[in-house]
Each structure stands twice: as structure tokens, then as C-alpha cells.
Copies of this chain bind each other. A is one copy, B any other.
Amino acid sequence: MADSLAELRAKINAFVHERDWDQFHSPKNLAMAMIVEAAELVEHFQWDTLEESRELTPEKREQVSHELADTFVYLLRIAEVLELDLIAAANTKIALNAQKYPVNKAKGSNAKYTKYQENE
């Protein structure tokens, strides 16, 4: 069992190396594989109301868990082959988002940040 992000990343790398799959794992291919998994998640919710999507049967919850895991695995692989630190990248992006979506303007609003700039 991998207990941390670093251990999980190492485990996935080993899985890939054992199967000699590095040759297929260009960023282009991995980005395609990741969006396919993201779409399998979307499929679970496509006919749900917003409320229904919050209340999953145990069976659907398990399937959703698998799709999230698959998306996560490919995300980690892309970070790996591009030698990017996902945690650092997320910290950086959240700081940028905090500027784009200041609390006083964004609170309770689902508008895209470009809407605030139009109105300035």
C-alpha cells in the first residue's frame, strides 16, 4: 500500500516500467488517456440532477471511485514524464486563482473571472 503521494507515484512508475509502457507515455498520449478517464466520470453523472449526483448508491460510488483513481494515475504519470511537482504546481495555481477570484467579488458567484474585469 502506498501511503503518500510520493509512494503512490513510485508504485505507478514501477507498474509502468514492468510492462515496458514508458514508450507509449508521451505527454500527448497521457493527456488523451486522462481525458478519457475524466469522461468516464462525467458519464456517471450525465443524466443526474445536481442533487442526484450528490447521493450515490454503493455500486455507483465504487465505480466513481475507480474513475477518479484512473484520472489520478494518469495525472501523476503526466507530472512524472514532464518532471513537474503536482503539489507545488497546485500551490502556485491556487495563489493565482486567489488573485483572479478575490473574496469580495467572487463570494457566492459562479461567474468566470473575466466577468469582473469587464465590469471594472
Contacts and interface: CB of A to CB of B under 8 A. Distances in A.
A69 B85 CA distance: 10
A46 to B, nearest CB: 4
B31 A42 contact: yes
Q: How large is the interface on A (under 10, 10 to 19, 20 to 34, 35 or more residues)?
A: 35 or more
Contact of A41 (B34, B48, B110): B34
Contact of A12 (B28, B41, B45, B94): B94
**Stoichiometry (number of copies):** 4
A2 to B, nearest CB: 6
B36 A43 contact: yes
Name the residue among A31, A35, A49 with the largest chain B CB count within 10 angstroms: A31
Contacts of A52: 28
Contact of A45 (B31, B49, B72): B31
A81 B79 CA distance: 25
Given A1-B91, A32-B32, A91-B2, A72 B50 contact: no
9 contacts: A4-B87, A8-B91, A18-B103, A32-B45, A35-B42, A65-B84, A69-B90, A69-B94, A72-B90
A-B pairs, 8 with minimum CB distance: A39-B39, A69-B93, A28-B53, A47-B110, A32-B46, A69-B89, A28-B45, A26-B50
